[in-house]
């Protein structure tokens, strides 16, 4: 019998917050302000970057490539890392590894 397991809001928010910290770290490495990154990612509101970094918002799938390119990272590896935080169950299924593995920033840099 199949069972449905849904992440709690607290667990999902904690995962998104960890993903947001990765975005913030990459942004800081590039020397960008939130406003500058928003502009590079063609976002209308720079406050959306703050929401992403705080774990309140998520990067829309249609913006993953431009975020990766703006942050100077490989788009495929960036999407893999984001999936770890936004959908850890899918990440574990696709990559047969724990979503708790640490992010290796040197690996995702182009």
The CB density around residue 90, as the number of other CB atoms within 10 Å, is 12
pLDDT, residue 110, reads: 57
pLDDT, mean over the chain: 89
pLDDT per residue over 75-89, tens digit each? 999 999 999 999 999
Q: How many CB atoms lie within 10 A of CB 14?
A: 14
Q: Using one digit for the tens of pLDDT, what is the confidence trace for 87-99? A: 999 999 998 888 8
Confidence check: pLDDT of 39 > 50:
yes
In angstroms, the CA 32 to CA 45 distance is 15
Instruction: Tell me which residue of 63, 60, 67 sits closest to 23, measured CA to CA.
Output: 67
**CA 65 – CA 14 distance, rounded (Å):** 24
What does the alpha-carbon distance between residue 49 and residue 27 come to, in Å, rounded to a whole number?
10
Binned at pLDDT 50, 70 and 90, residue 8 comes out as low
pTM for this prediction: 0.84
């Amino acid at each position: 019998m199949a069972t449905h397991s849904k992440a709690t809001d607290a667990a999902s928010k904690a995962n998104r917050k960890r993903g947001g910290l990765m975005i913030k770290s990459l942004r800081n490495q590039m020397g960008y302000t939130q406003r500058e990154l928003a502009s590079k990612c063609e976002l209308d509101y720079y406050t959306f970057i703050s929401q992403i970094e705080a774990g309140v918002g998520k990067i829309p799938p249609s913006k993953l490539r431009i975020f990766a390119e703006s942050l100077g990272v490989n788009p495929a590896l960036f999407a893999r890392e984001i999936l770890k935080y936004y959908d850890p169950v899918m990440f574990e299924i696709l990559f047969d590894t724990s979503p708790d593995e640490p992010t290796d920033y040197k690996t995702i840099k182009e």
